[in-house]
Structures are given as structure tokens and as C-alpha cells.
Amino acid sequence: MPLGLGRRKKAPPLVENEEAEPIRTGLGGMGVGSVSGVTALQPGLPPPPANLRPRLVFHTQLAHGSPTGRIEGFTNVKELYSKIAEAFKISPVEVMFCTLNTHKVDMDKLLGGQIGLEDFIFAHTKGQRKEVEVFKSEEALGLTITDNGAGYAFIKRIKEGSVIDRIQVINVGDMIESINGQSLIGCRHYEVAKMLKDLPKGRTFALKLTEPRKAFDMISQRSAGAKYSGSTQLGTGRGTLRLRAKGPATVEEQPTAFEEKAIEKVDDLLESYMGIRDTELAATMVELGKDKQNPDEFAEALDEQLGDFAFPDEFVFDVWGAIGDAKVGRY
């Protein structure tokens, strides 16, 4: 259908910087994931039958310290957490999120929808729980929210000088369990961001948080990775394993320069319009739009695949423009 005719009611942009984002410096001597007989797939091609897919083995540790485990046979984030839990004999619900190639709570290394075939996976598990009362003295709290793809929303970064920055007990990596007693387990990042935005200014609200269990060298760390670097490499090594919400995982080539820049620009637009950062969502949007001939086709593809987000029309136009600019090298 033509863009703007018969689509959803246009939603105003969320200017609050309470954001959402789902969910990458090498460590010498740590070991890497291994792969035998990998043939990378071109994006968009259907995966081979299960019995013909390459056997991918990744190495993993618990971020606070553990022996090295080996995991394989997962096709999405929930299955990955289950494999990690099985390797270390813990419950899958104990896994909060994973980082790639570092045991620190570094949000620039957060595992999202892609894993480099040589990446080392560190799993961050639940640690201390805490309850905090926050007085919302300003409209923007200064939080960026992401989620782990398996039902937990947590803090990705804290804006310097913001309301939350002045509360030292709240840290990057903290999982938000509830707001004013309302459980957020199972909520997506954009839902949590909207709840935080909608809290009335001049009122106090209660947060229940769970911080990731820390290794000894992380005890004094508050906000590693709290500042967005503006550029995130999606995986390392010879290729990436793309984890998908629908369908099996696929082995793909590294993103092209166009794809990386387009993903970065779309991620910036997600933050500007909706108060979220989510590189995997941005990558999905770029994949949906790169072969479309006009914005109407792109809008229909977004409605079909990502209709739950109810993207406003002006946002769709800007994303279409960002993808077009990246195609012709206007970075």
C-alpha cells in the first residue's frame, strides 16, 4: 500500500533517552570458536538442510571466572543461553547477557544477533539484587536500555551528568526487574524505554535491579562501555553466525562497508525517534530495505516483518534515505 495511506496511526517520536537495544578486543591465550567445512551463505539465501550444515563449536566461560566450556548446536539467543547453562550446570535464567572476547561489562562488545566464527563468548550471570528509589527531577533520566533477546532488559549506558548518573548504586549492566512493582521480565527494550519515559516528572519511583556477578578485577567498575563509540564491529574472524528470531541461524560473510555504515545510521535513527539502540534490529531493517525499489515497498516490508514496532512514517522515510545514502557512499 502507498506509504502514509492506510498505515497505522502515526506515533510521535519518543525524545526521551531511555532506550532499548538487544543484544563485541581479543584475549591472548583464551582459545577461539572452531568451525569445520564452513561455506558462508550469501545473505537472503535459504539455509542448507540440517544434516548438511557446518558444525560450529564455540568456546565460552562465565565472566566472573570458570573453566572453559565448549558449546554448539544453537540457532538463537535462547538456545545459546541454554547451551551455556548446560555446560556450566546452572539454570538458563541465571544468564543475563553475553559479551564477546572480554569478561568485562563492556557494552561495545555485547553479543547481539551475530557472533564472529572466532569469537570467545563470556556469559554474565545474576549477582546482587538491589532496590533503588529515584526522584525524576528531569524528563530524561539518561538511561539507554537494551535487552538480551530472552526476556531481560538491562542498562546499556548512562548519560554523564544525568539523573541516573548521580545515583552511584545504579550501574551499566544492571537488569531492570521491575518499575514500581510491575515486573518487566519478558518485556522488550522499547517497552521498558516507554515505561521510563511515561513516568511523571517530579515524582519518585522504585526500581528493582539485579547486577551481573563480578570478577575480582571488576568490583570497582561502574560503567565500562557506557559511552557509545559510534561504531560497532559485528563479529570478527572469517565470517559471522547470524542468529535469527525466526528460522535457523546462518553463516554469512562479514558485513560490507555499505552494510556497516547503513546499520550505524539506522541505529542512530532508532535512538533519535524511539529512544532505543539495537544493532540487530538496525541490521534487519537494512536487510529489508537494501533491495527495495522505493519507500512504499520498504514500508510494506517493515509492516510485514516488524509491525509490532509501529514505526512512524517520517522515521521510515528517514531510514529509507539513510540506506540510500550509504549505498552511494554518502556517509
pLDDT tens string 273-287: 877 778 888 888 999
| Identity of the residue numbered 285 | M
| Identity of the residue numbered 323 | I
Q: Give the model's pLDDT for residue 237.
A: 47
DSSP state for residue 139 in the 8-state scheme: S
Q: Which of 212, 55, 56 is nearest to 148 (CA)?
A: 212
Residues paired with residue 41 on neighbouring β-strands, in sequence order: 252
pLDDT tens string 214-264: 876 554 444 444 444 444 444 444 577 767 666 666 677 777 888 889 998
pLDDT-derived band of residue 47, with 50, 70 and 90 as boundaries?
low
State the Cα–Cα distance between residues 37 and 82, nearest whole angstrom. 25
Of residues 34 and 91, more confidence is placed in 91
Lowest-pLDDT range of 18-27, 195-204, 207-216: 18-27
DSSP letter for each residue of 44-84 = TSPPPPGGGS-EEEEEEEETT----EEEE---SHHHHHHHH
DSSP letter for each residue of 253-317 = PPPPHHHHHHHHHHHHHHHHHHS---HHHHHHHHHHHTT-SSHHHHHHHHHHHHGGG---HHHHH
Q: Which of 65, 72, 150 is nearest to 117 (CA)?
A: 72
